[in-house]
Amino acid sequence: MNSMTGQTKANLPRRVQGQRGVILFLAVVIMAILLSIGLGISAILIGQIRMVRDIGNSVKAFYAADTGIEKALLFRNDPIPNLPLYDVLDNGANYEVEAFDFGPDCLGVNFCLRSIGSFQGVSRAIEVEY
C-alpha cells in the first residue's frame, strides 16, 4: 500500500515538502544543455559550410589567374611593354598579370610572369618562368 495515499499537504513528510519545483528546474537545466549542444554543432557546421564555399571560390580564383597567364603568353616574345594586364571575367573573377626580366626575382631564361586571380575575397597566384 502506498504510504502517500490520503495525505494532505500539512502532513506530508519534510523531504517531499521542500521538493516543489525541482522538476521545473531539471527541465530548464536539461533544455539549456541541449541548447548548448545544438549551438555548438551549428557553429561547427557553419564553419564547414564557409570552408566548402571558399574552396569553390578558390578554384574560380585559380582559373582566373590561369586565364591571365594565357593572355600574357600571347605576348611571349616581349611581354613587359604589354603588362600589367588586368581584366574582370564574366563570372566576376578578376586577374592581374606582371612580368619580370631575368634577375633576383626571376630565375627563368627569358621572363617570369606572375598572375593573381581573385574571386569574392579569395586570391590565388600562378608564376611561370620561361
3-class SS letters over 43-87:
HHHHHHHHHHHHHHHHHHHHHHHHHHHHHHHHHCCCCHHHCCEEE
Residue 104 grid coordinates:
633576383
User: What is the per-residue pLDDT for 9?
Assistant: 61
Tell whether pTM > 0.75. Answer: no
Q: What is the pLDDT of residue 1?
A: 47
Stretches in the chain below the pLDDT threshold 50: 1
